[in-house]
Structure 1
Amino acid sequence: MKISSKITLALAALLPALTNVVASDVLDLAQDTFKGEVFDQDLALVEFFAPWCGHCKNLAPHYEEAATELVKKGIKLAKVDCTEHADLCQEYGVSGYPTLKVFRNGTPTDYTGPRKADGIISYMVKQSLPAVSDVTSDSHAEFIKSDKVVLVAYGDASHPIPSAYSQYANTARDSFLFGQFTDSSLPSIPESPSLPAIVLYKSFDEGYSIFPAGEIVNLESSSLAEFVKTNSVPLLDEISPENFGSYAEQGLPIAYIFADPSESDARDKLIEEIKPIAKEHKGKINFVYIDAIKFIDHGKSLNLPGDKWPAFVIQDLAAQTKYPLSPSEKVNAKSIKSFLDKFVTGEIQPSIKSAPIPLNQDQPVYKLVADDWENLFGDLQKDVFAEFFAPWCGHCQRLAPIWDTLAEKYASNSNVVIAQMDATENDIPPAAPFKVQGFPTLKFKPAGSNDFIDYNGDRSLDSLVEFVEQNRKSSGGEGGATTGGDDDEEIFDDEDAPEHDEL
């Protein structure tokens, strides 16, 4: 009896702790509860996930933290286990994990925000507000500090706010917070511009930027967008997975300083030295610094050798090109300025990473490397079917024996080339008319043409052979066989990717 009583008391003591572990502000939804919980909500966020998904596991604590904060604001966060409710996930077009969707009274749109707690909170708060919020004297001080970047337009009856402001706000509400102040008692505005006025408040650099007064009367949303793009990121900030998306959205080249964090004094001195250079190129090139040790793989992907710091490289995201400063040059303000001047005037050619050209091609599959690109694709006498793969990609591994067999079928026909490129060891040349966005990517270039045809069929040998026969222009024999395949594509952040820090 005494032992039983002690156990009871121990369990009673543990109960509050167990309750805290189990309690969650994220709703767990099923087919029969989904509509009831989501469709009557002005705003809700739903995560479609799989328990085995590593990215889902990484998201979980941030999603929980965001849910706890957002429930106070009346915004529901929910999740659906797609391994248990496959039909529901299929209904909403879920093809990868995690997939997040914003629901407004049952109508879904894709969630395009960050996946850290503060980013989720910021994104959903923006979604909950009108595109442009009314700001008063009482709310002004709090509103301009409610996010990293906040825009406020000021006007009155005699000086109305241009309609282009609201037009731009409707297109950019996912990224920024917008307000309008038309109260008769105007608050203190930096530099006291004449009305109407637009001020961009920011939690970095000088703290605010004012839209040019001479351009506001005939304001166009495109000129406001350009102003925001120029002023909404810090002059020179540390880049990480949390803020990489904001730089990517801008579409400007990124100039990186890769530095060893253990040498912070030297890094900070270098940063201060190049701030005037960053200011000179503001709105044209974004400058950042990055932890060279933690993100060494990202440095290697930008064609840095990865053994000497600091290092400097420019990445043009739009063109998918990179321009590393030669490792033989010392990284300082002088060398960076000279390099940037040449980059701007187009004097520097992009760095193209290439594995060595094979000494011979004695296997059925042609081993393509970047330096051999023109030799293969420039031969208009040949039909070329090329696979772009990553060694860690599970779908590529399953395709490998089928691709080998396909190459063997055409081994006796010198005018049909079945090729393969390791896209982790080779860059796609800038002159190529396509970019590789997922693995495996399959492209066919018919003889006599410079056009590439996408292959989107299933990956059985029969289907691949049929595709070649339908599209090739050269003469010669063909073959056929049957084997299984799949038609999934593995995107760059797939679960089969190696474990490392990446942007």
Structure 2
Amino acid sequence: MLCLQVLSILLIATAALASEEDVLELGDNDFDSRLSEIDTALVMFYAPWCGHCKRLKPEYAKAAEDLVRNDPPVTLVKVDCTEAGKETCNKNSVSGYPTLKIFRNGEFSQEYKGPREANGIAKYMKAQVGPASKELKSVADLEKFLASEKESVVIGFFENESDLKAAFFKLADKLREKVQFAHSSYKDVLAKQGVTDAVILFRPAHLKNKFEPSSVTYSGPAESSDLNDFLTKNFYGLAGVRKSDNQREFKSPLVVVYYAVDYVKNPKGTNYWRNRVLKVAEQFAGKVNFAVSPNDEFTHELNEFGIEFAQSDKPKVAARDASEKKYVLKEEFSVESLTNFVNDLLNEKLEPYIKSEPIPENQDEPVVVAVAKNFEDVVVNNDKDTLIEFYAPWCGHCKKLAPAYDELAEKLKGEDVAIVKMDATANDVPPNYDVRGFPTLYWAPKDKKNNPVRYDGGREVDDFLKYIAKEATNELKGWDRSGKEKPAKTEL
């Protein structure tokens, strides 16, 4: 009976989490009339069969639950472009799914350019309504504001006009899409906090711990740049919760501990492991940055470190040093093993992890194959100008390029130029090559290998030849600088 009761409760809880009751569904018949009554709305134009839409929907619903209770509220709307909302989608120039747009009083305001997970959507949209800093008129307002936020917040307490107040509002306007700001000049609020002119960062209740204070008061110059530095340093604390929407804000050297981070379903279990990370992070404050990340949200990143995802495992640990080299804790996670790992990281005693295919046993083809483990040899130290293609085996554009690339390499046999390719999905790409799509090509002159130049020219053989003939360190034997083929030498 107990098991059945527990199962019933879990099913109800799961259904509640997946509910879309706070998302307003509109169509051609009511889109304009209903939207005109709403101050600020985020509209998702979708198709039921769209995979990206299916992945976004539960995050959208979670964000809607948060935003409908915001002050002022933000309404999240969805429109099915394949059925009841066809005309509305056409009128709003929807050409792909999902498309998200922000409307104010029924009028299109701007394209949505924020994150696509619940917390990120909520934070981005909260910044779109009201002033950059929320005014707190009473102690009850202060307590409600602190209780409602899921991340650190910044509050200014000002009895009178001051340089600090001016700097605070300037920064609040600049960071309104990233940080929640509030302020107060009311005597009872200032008395409650025991300050008259101060800016304080408050950490959310669920992240409070014995290793760091729950709030930090700014004590620097009354300049927005200095205040910004204070927030950057303190916002996430000793070990912040790193998710997909804020991952770029955690800078190297960085140690990340991956496990089932979930403050909704399992806050106690989440803090059990985080407190152990905090104990270690406290020892290395100012030397290394720490974070905890949900392992199911970073399966791709774990794969980049050669770590297999397993929901029930103990935490896994990966790190990057200041030069972005990667390292993995091989021992089972514990306070002691993590401490030793970080000490060895700082003392450069760890062997970097390199994701790489095996080095090819031979290089018989005109196009040289690079992998992470031989990249130094076949590109950096080959003493040749080098054209490198970073590709993906499944990429259609890469497959289309392959014959021309092979022909190019064949034509340039005997020249002081190497034509190289590398599977960027199976190998670590060096940090000075920015590869975000496939194929990506770079030109690396023989004497400037640390400063490769992205190739954005045509992809026919003649396009490549003209570019290489012009850019080659030494003039090619078979082509002049304009790319014109030189006449063959005849023997007398």
- TM-score, shorter chain, exceeding 0.5: yes
> Partner amino acid for 2:463?
S
Give the Cα–Cα distance (whole angstroms) in 2 for the partners of residues 189 and 344 of structure 1.
Answer: 43
The residue that corresponds to 1:333 in the other structure is: 335
The residue that corresponds to 2:16 in the other structure is: none
Show CA shifts across 1:195-247 (max 9, x none). Answer: 334242423333874444643xx3332333333334433644665xxx23224
The residue that corresponds to 1:233 in the other structure is: 236
Q: Give unpaired runs (5+ residues) of structure 2.
A: 1-18, 262-266, 485-492
- Would the aligned equivalents of 1:390 and 1:439 in 2 still touch at CA under 8 Å? yes
Give the Cα–Cα distance (whole angstroms) in 2 for the partners of residues 473 and 386 of structure 1.
Answer: 16
SS of aligned partner of 1:245: coil
Q: 1:324 to 1:151 in 2, by over 3 A?
A: same
Q: Which has the larger displacement, 332-341 or 462-471?
A: 462-471
Q: 1:361 aligns with which of 360, 363, 373?
A: 363
Cα offset, 1:314, TM superposition: 0.9
- Would the aligned equivalents of 1:26 and 1:64 in 2 still touch at CA under 8 Å? no
The residue that corresponds to 2:54 in the other structure is: 57
The residue that corresponds to 1:115 in the other structure is: 117
Give the Cα–Cα distance (whole angstroms) in 1 for the partners of residues 467 and 289 of structure 2.
Answer: 43
Q: 1:108 to 1:310 in 2, by over 3 A?
A: closer
Cα offset, 1:79, TM superposition: 6.1
> Partner amino acid for 1:422?
D
> Partner amino acid for 2:471?
N
Show CA shifts across 1:60-106 (max 9, x none). Answer: 3443665687578364646696999799759xxx9x86454546775
User: Is residue 257 of structure 1 aligned with residue 261 of structure 2?
Assistant: no
Give the Cα–Cα distance (whole angstroms) in 2 for the partners of residues 212 and 265 of structure 1.
Answer: 28
Show CA shifts across 1:476-498 (max 9, x none). Answer: 33699xxxxxxxxxxxxxxxxxx
SS of aligned partner of 1:45: strand
User: Is residue 125 of structure 1 aligned with residue 126 of structure 2?
Assistant: yes
Q: 1:52 to 1:378 in 2, by over 3 A?
A: same
The residue that corresponds to 1:423 in the other structure is: 424
- Would the aligned equivalents of 2:241 and 2:292 in 1 still touch at CA under 8 Å? yes
> Partner amino acid for 1:183?
Y
The residue that corresponds to 2:290 in the other structure is: 286
Give the Cα–Cα distance (whole angstroms) in 2 for the partners of residues 23 and 265 of structure 1.
Answer: 28
Q: 2:374 aligns with which of 350, 372, 386?
A: 372
How do residues 155-166 of structure 1 correspond to structure 2 at under 5 angstroms?
Answer: 155-157=158-160, 161-166=164-169
SS of aligned partner of 1:340: helix
SS of aligned partner of 1:180: strand
> Partner amino acid for 2:124?
Y
CA RMSD of aligned residues (A): 4.5
- Would the aligned equivalents of 1:387 and 1:419 in 2 still touch at CA under 8 Å? yes
SS of aligned partner of 1:162: helix
Q: How many residues align?
A: 438
Cα offset, 1:257, TM superposition: 3.1
Cα offset, 1:165, TM superposition: 0.8
User: Is residue 202 of structure 1 aligned with residue 204 of structure 2?
Assistant: yes
Cα offset, 1:131, TM superposition: 0.6
How do residues 73-112 of structure 1 correspond to structure 2 at under 5 angstroms?
Answer: 73=73, 75=75, 77=77, 98=98, 100-102=100-102, 108=110, 111-112=113-114
Give the Cα–Cα distance (whole angstroms) in 1 for the partners of residues 20 and 414 of structure 2.
Answer: 65
Give the Cα–Cα distance (whole angstroms) in 1 for the partners of residues 160 and 66 of structure 2.
Answer: 38
Give the Cα–Cα distance (whole angstroms) in 2 for the partners of residues 275 and 68 of structure 1.
Answer: 31
Cα offset, 1:362, TM superposition: 0.4
> Partner amino acid for 2:430?
P
Q: 1:161 to 1:210 in 2, by over 3 A?
A: farther
The residue that corresponds to 2:186 in the other structure is: 183
- Would the aligned equivalents of 2:23 and 2:78 in 1 still touch at CA under 8 Å? no
- Would the aligned equivalents of 1:43 and 1:128 in 2 still touch at CA under 8 Å? yes
The residue that corresponds to 2:389 in the other structure is: 387
How do residues 11-26 of structure 1 correspond to structure 2 at under 5 angstroms?
Answer: 25-26=24-25
How do residues 335-350 of structure 1 correspond to structure 2 at under 5 angstroms?
Answer: 335-344=337-346, 348=350, 350=352
- Would the aligned equivalents of 1:66 and 1:120 in 2 still touch at CA under 8 Å? yes
Q: 1:213 to 1:353 in 2, by over 3 A?
A: closer
> Partner amino acid for 1:427?
D
Show CA shifts across 1:240-295 (max 9, x none). Answer: xxx2322422435442334589xx9999876544422122345641231544x885
Give the Cα–Cα distance (whole angstroms) in 2 for the partners of residues 470 and 163 of structure 1.
Answer: 55
> Partner amino acid for 1:443?
Y
SS of aligned partner of 2:187: coil
SS of aligned partner of 1:363: coil
Give the Cα–Cα distance (whole angstroms) in 1 for the partners of residues 111 and 149 of structure 2.
Answer: 23
Show CA shifts across 1:26-51 (max 9, x none). Answer: 5568xxx99x9999986443557677
Cα offset, 1:178, TM superposition: 0.9
How do residues 476-491 of structure 1 correspond to structure 2 at under 5 angstroms?
Answer: 476-477=477-478
Give the Cα–Cα distance (whole angstroms) in 2 for the partners of residues 65 and 259 of structure 1.
Answer: 22
TM-score (ref. length: structure 2) = 0.72
Structure showing greater relative contact order (alpha-carbon pairs closer than 8 Å, 6 or more residues apart) = 1
- The percent of aligned pairs where both chains have the same amino acid is 29
User: Is residue 315 of structure 1 aligned with residue 314 of structure 2?
Assistant: no
> Partner amino acid for 1:288?
V
Q: Which has the larger displacement, 118-127 or 201-210?
A: 201-210
Q: 1:324 aligns with which of 328, 333, 339?
A: 328
SS of aligned partner of 2:188: coil
Give the Cα–Cα distance (whole angstroms) in 2 for the partners of residues 260 and 364 of structure 1.
Answer: 48
> Partner amino acid for 1:164?
A
SS of aligned partner of 1:139: helix
Q: 2:157 aligns with which of 154, 158, 181?
A: 154
Give the Cα–Cα distance (whole angstroms) in 1 for the partners of residues 308 and 74 of structure 2.
Answer: 50
Give the Cα–Cα distance (whole angstroms) in 1 for the partners of residues 268 and 125 of structure 2.
Answer: 38
Give the Cα–Cα distance (whole angstroms) in 1 for the partners of residues 464 and 49 of structure 2.
Answer: 32
> Partner amino acid for 2:24?
D
The residue that corresponds to 1:494 in the other structure is: none
- Would the aligned equivalents of 1:113 and 1:174 in 2 still touch at CA under 8 Å? no
SS of aligned partner of 2:172: helix
Q: Which has the larger displacement, 62-71 or 243-252?
A: 62-71
How do residues 268-279 of structure 1 correspond to structure 2 at under 5 angstroms?
Answer: 271-279=274-282
> Partner amino acid for 1:228?
L
User: Is residue 445 of structure 1 aligned with residue 444 of structure 2?
Assistant: yes
Cα offset, 1:324, TM superposition: 1.4
> Partner amino acid for 1:121?
A
Show CA shifts across 1:306-332 (max 9, x none). Answer: 79965422136x85432213x3x4543
- Would the aligned equivalents of 1:101 and 1:110 in 2 still touch at CA under 8 Å? yes
Q: 1:351 aligns with which of 353, 363, 367?
A: 353
> Partner amino acid for 2:328?
P
Q: 1:213 to 1:445 in 2, by over 3 A?
A: closer
TM-score (ref. length: structure 1) = 0.71
